[in-house]
Amino acid sequence: MKLTEQQRIELEAAAFRHLLQHLDANKDVQNIDLMNLAGFCRNCLAKWYSAAAQEKSIPIDYEQAREIIYGMPYAQWKDKYQSPLQAQ
Protein backbone atom coordinates (compact mmCIF):
# COMPACT_ATOMS: atom_id res chain seq x y z
CA MET A 1 0.00 0.00 0.00
CA LYS A 2 1.32 3.41 -0.95
CA LEU A 3 0.43 6.24 1.40
CA THR A 4 -0.11 9.78 0.26
CA GLU A 5 2.17 12.39 1.82
CA GLN A 6 -0.79 13.68 3.85
CA GLN A 7 -1.63 10.18 5.12
CA ARG A 8 1.99 9.62 6.14
CA ILE A 9 2.07 12.95 7.99
CA GLU A 10 -1.21 12.19 9.76
CA LEU A 11 -0.09 8.72 10.83
CA GLU A 12 3.29 9.98 12.04
CA ALA A 13 1.56 12.78 13.98
CA ALA A 14 -0.84 10.29 15.57
CA ALA A 15 2.03 8.00 16.54
CA PHE A 16 3.94 10.95 18.03
CA ARG A 17 0.89 12.04 20.04
CA HIS A 18 0.51 8.48 21.30
CA LEU A 19 4.19 8.43 22.33
CA LEU A 20 3.70 11.65 24.30
CA GLN A 21 0.57 10.21 25.97
CA HIS A 22 2.49 7.05 26.83
CA LEU A 23 5.38 9.02 28.35
CA ASP A 24 2.91 11.17 30.27
CA ALA A 25 1.20 8.08 31.65
CA ASN A 26 4.58 6.65 32.70
CA LYS A 27 6.21 9.54 34.53
CA ASP A 28 8.07 7.02 36.68
CA VAL A 29 10.25 6.28 33.66
CA GLN A 30 13.11 8.69 34.14
CA ASN A 31 14.94 10.41 31.31
CA ILE A 32 18.17 8.64 32.25
CA ASP A 33 16.35 5.31 31.88
CA LEU A 34 15.17 6.31 28.41
CA MET A 35 18.69 7.45 27.46
CA ASN A 36 20.26 4.22 28.66
CA LEU A 37 17.71 2.02 26.89
CA ALA A 38 16.76 3.96 23.79
CA GLY A 39 19.42 6.64 23.29
CA PHE A 40 16.89 9.48 23.58
CA CYS A 41 14.72 11.10 26.22
CA ARG A 42 12.00 13.69 26.64
CA ASN A 43 14.58 16.47 26.33
CA CYS A 44 15.76 15.02 23.02
CA LEU A 45 12.17 15.05 21.77
CA ALA A 46 11.91 18.70 22.78
CA LYS A 47 15.15 19.53 20.92
CA TRP A 48 13.90 17.75 17.80
CA TYR A 49 10.53 19.52 18.11
CA SER A 50 12.08 22.98 18.41
CA ALA A 51 14.51 22.24 15.55
CA ALA A 52 11.59 21.19 13.33
CA ALA A 53 9.76 24.39 14.28
CA GLN A 54 12.82 26.48 13.37
CA GLU A 55 13.07 24.73 9.99
CA LYS A 56 9.45 25.79 9.34
CA SER A 57 10.03 29.32 10.73
CA ILE A 58 7.62 28.63 13.59
CA PRO A 59 8.71 30.54 16.71
CA ILE A 60 8.95 27.71 19.26
CA ASP A 61 12.13 27.69 21.32
CA TYR A 62 13.56 24.81 23.34
CA GLU A 63 11.81 25.77 26.59
CA GLN A 64 8.46 26.08 24.83
CA ALA A 65 9.05 22.72 23.17
CA ARG A 66 9.86 21.14 26.54
CA GLU A 67 6.56 22.42 27.91
CA ILE A 68 4.78 20.80 24.95
CA ILE A 69 6.64 17.50 25.42
CA TYR A 70 6.33 17.40 29.22
CA GLY A 71 2.78 18.77 29.29
CA MET A 72 3.83 21.42 31.82
CA PRO A 73 6.80 23.70 32.44
CA TYR A 74 9.94 21.58 32.76
CA ALA A 75 10.82 22.94 36.22
CA GLN A 76 7.39 21.88 37.49
CA TRP A 77 7.73 18.39 35.95
CA LYS A 78 11.22 18.02 37.40
CA ASP A 79 10.04 18.99 40.90
CA LYS A 80 7.06 16.63 40.75
CA TYR A 81 8.40 13.59 38.93
CA GLN A 82 12.18 13.47 38.61
CA SER A 83 13.81 11.08 41.04
CA PRO A 84 16.83 12.29 42.96
CA LEU A 85 20.14 11.11 41.55
CA GLN A 86 21.40 8.02 43.30
CA ALA A 87 25.07 7.26 43.81
CA GLN A 88 26.11 4.05 42.14
* pLDDT at residue 61, as a whole number: 97
CATH number, domain containing residue 29 = 1.10.3340.10
**Chunked in runs of 10, what are the mean pLDDT values of the chain (88 residues)?**
95 97 95 95 97 97 97 95 71
**Within a domain: 73:** yes
87 occurs within a structural domain: no
pLDDT recorded at residue 83: 86
Q: How far apart are the first and last CA of the chain?
A: 50
Domain membership flag for residue 88: no
Residue 54, in any domain of the structure: yes
What are the CB-based long-range contacts (under 8 Å, 24+) for 26-34? 27/77, 27/80, 27/81, 28/81, 30/82, 30/83, 31/82
pLDDT at 86: 54
The answer to whether position 84 is within a domain reads no
Range of the domain at 54: 5-78
Tally of domains in the chain: 1
Predicted structure pTM score: 0.87
Residue 85 lies in a domain: no
